[in-house]
């Protein structure tokens, strides 16, 4: 990006929120946690997402050059939300205009700090800016639809000698207002950043929003989950992937159980330990060991890395610790949870290294 600032920039009139440390308890924006706002595949997706449920509508459009923002790109938004919440908990002023060191974001989200990691971060920012969203979520009586990009603009700051001094980005007003409203933010497990699959990342966010810390958990019909995910794969292949997640149990803090209601498959999500025993005797339909999808650009089988900074290894063991922020509801049936979560913050620690010290052996 050019270091020249346009006088007509969206930053005009905004005081920058300077991130002094990248260390903050992870926070996610509730509206983004269950609906299909992001591609679940690392392979480029240009097919639009169109989702409607009641008066809620979500449309996501990508440009062919860059593709749609992925659920891994969404880590940038989670990190930004975490910094804003932590700062406001300390009584500090915040702004949609963030100024930070890339090293802070990369280390907080569990990524490497090599040259390739910085290049992939810039590509993620490009996708976040080029992806266009239309939604009726959080409309008021005067405005029915919002249209925006995940990042209004961003810039890499460099001196005349070429030394990089940091980055700036401007968040859209729709997202920023959803972060400063404490009822619309939930704490998430830091182990989320270690989840390598797009579907399991999306499913964790669904679990955190709906099941929260309720002992009864939450139940979803497989077909309903498929619709909410925005996946391009066939429902049968989507169901197969859900069954495999039930066997692997990858979600930190949650247990998955497959149940049958006649011919309907139900996924029961509970906080870990709430059922009092391990999930045994899971019914597995007759299916081959491999996915037989003929979908060209599968949402669940990545074919090319866009932001692939994690080792191709098995996910870490489940985190069975309690989740402090609960998301209660009046029943364990499908629907929205309405109670406001408690918010908290983690103490900050100084980190002003820039650029990060290069380590031997390539990207970390």
Convert the pLDDT of each residue in 35-68 to its tens digit.
Answer: 999 999 999 999 999 999 988 999 999 999 999 9
**Distance separating alpha carbons of residues 42 and 32, to the nearest angstrom:** 18
Mean pLDDT of the region 78-100: 94
Please report the pLDDT score of residue 301 as a whole number. 36
Please report the pLDDT score of residue 20 as a whole number. 79
Q: Nearest to residue 350, comparing CAs of 88, 121, 19, 17?
A: 19
For the chain, the C-alpha Rg in angstroms (whole number) is: 20
Coil, strand, or helix at residue 49? Answer: strand
Coil, strand, or helix at residue 196? Answer: coil
pLDDT band at 1 (very low <50, low <70, confident <90, very high): very low
Coil, strand, or helix at residue 229? Answer: helix
pLDDT band at 351 (very low <50, low <70, confident <90, very high): very low
Give bridge partners of residue 156 from the DSSP assignment: 167
Per-residue pLDDT at 357 exceeds 50: no
Per-residue pLDDT at 319 exceeds 90: no
Helices H / strands E in the chain, number of each: 7, 13
Q: Nearest to residue 292, comparing CAs of 240, 330, 344?
A: 240
CB of 213 within 8 A of CB of 326? yes
Q: What is the pTM of this model?
A: 0.73
Per-residue pLDDT at 299 exceeds 50: no
Please report the pLDDT score of residue 328 as a whole number. 37
Mean pLDDT of the region 74-88: 96
Residue 321 in tokens:
């610790």
Give bridge partners of residue 137 from the DSSP assignment: none
Residue 270 in tokens:
């509970």
Please report the pLDDT score of residue 336 as a whole number. 38
Which residue has 């939450």 as its token pair?
A: 218
Please report the pLDDT score of residue 159 as a whole number. 76
Per-residue pLDDT at 320 exceeds 70: no
pLDDT band at 146 (very low <50, low <70, confident <90, very high): confident
What mean pLDDT, rounded, does the chain reach? 78
* Helical axes 235-248 vs 198-210, angle rounded to 10°: 70
Exposure string of 120-153, with b = 16+ CB inside 10 Å and e = fewer, is bbeebbbbbbbbbbebbbeeeeeeeebebbbbbb
Please give the helix or strand (H or E) that residue 155 lies within, else none: strand 153-158
Per-residue pLDDT at 346 exceeds 60: no
Exposure string of 284-323, with b = 16+ CB inside 10 Å and e = fewer, is eeeeeeebebeeebbbbbbeeebbebbeeeebeebbeeeb
Mean pLDDT of the region 325-345: 39
Mean pLDDT of the region 326-335: 38
- In order of 56, 134, 340, the CA distances from 138 in angstroms are 9, 12, 16
Per-residue pLDDT at 154 exceeds 90: yes
pLDDT band at 140 (very low <50, low <70, confident <90, very high): low
Per-residue pLDDT at 143 exceeds 90: no
Q: What is the pLDDT of residues 4-40, one digit of tens each?
A: 445 555 566 688 888 877 678 999 999 999 899 999 9
Please report the pLDDT score of residue 171 as a whole number. 97
Please give the span between the terminal C-alpha atoms of the chain, in angstroms, as a whole number.
25
Mean pLDDT of the region 218-246: 96
């Amino acid at each position: 990006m050019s270091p020249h600032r346009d006088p007509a920039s969206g930053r005009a009139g905004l005081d920058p929120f300077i991130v002094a440390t990248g260390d903050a308890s992870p926070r996610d924006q509730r509206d983004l946690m269950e609906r299909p706002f992001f591609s679940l595949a690392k392979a480029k997706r240009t097919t639009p997402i169109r989702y409607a449920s009641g008066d809620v509508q979500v449309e996501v459009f990508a440009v062919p050059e860059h593709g749609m923002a992925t659920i891994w790109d969404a880590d940038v938004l989670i990190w930004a939300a975490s910094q804003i919440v932590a700062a406001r908990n300390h009584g500090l002023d915040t702004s949609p205009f963030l100024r930070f060191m890339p090293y802070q974001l990369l280390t907080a989200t569990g990524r490497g700090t090599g040259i390739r990691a910085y290049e992939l971060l810039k590509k993620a920012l490009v996708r976040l800016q080029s992806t266009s969203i239309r939604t009726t979520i959080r409309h008021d009586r005067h405005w029915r639809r919002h249209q925006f990009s995940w990042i209004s603009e961003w810039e890499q700051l460099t001196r005349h000698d070429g030394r990089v001094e940091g980055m700036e980005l401007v968040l859209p007003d729709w997202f920023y207002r959803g972060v400063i409203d404490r009822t619309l933010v939930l704490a998430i497990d830091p182990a989320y950043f270690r989840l390598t699959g797009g579907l399991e990342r999306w499913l964790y966010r669904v679990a955190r929003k709906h099941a929260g810390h309720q002992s009864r958990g939450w139940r979803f019909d497989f077909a309903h989950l498929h619709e909410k995910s925005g996946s391009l794969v066939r429902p049968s292949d989507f169901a197969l992937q859900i069954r495999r997640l039930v066997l692997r149990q990858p979600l930190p803090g949650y247990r998955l159980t497959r149940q049958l209601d006649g011919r309907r498959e139900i996924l029961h999500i509970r906080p870990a330990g709430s059922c009092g025993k391990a999930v045994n005797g899971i019914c597995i339909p007759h299916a081959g060991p491999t996915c037989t999808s003929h979908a060209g650009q599968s949402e669940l089988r990545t074919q090319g890395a866009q932001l692939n900074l994690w080792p191709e290894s098995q996910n870490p063991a489940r985190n069975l610790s309690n989740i402090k922020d609960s998301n209660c509801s009046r029943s364990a049936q499908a629907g929205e949870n309405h109670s406001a979560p408690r918010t908290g913050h983690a103490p900050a620690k100084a980190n002003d290294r820039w650029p990060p010290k290069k380590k031997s052996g390539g990207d970390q």
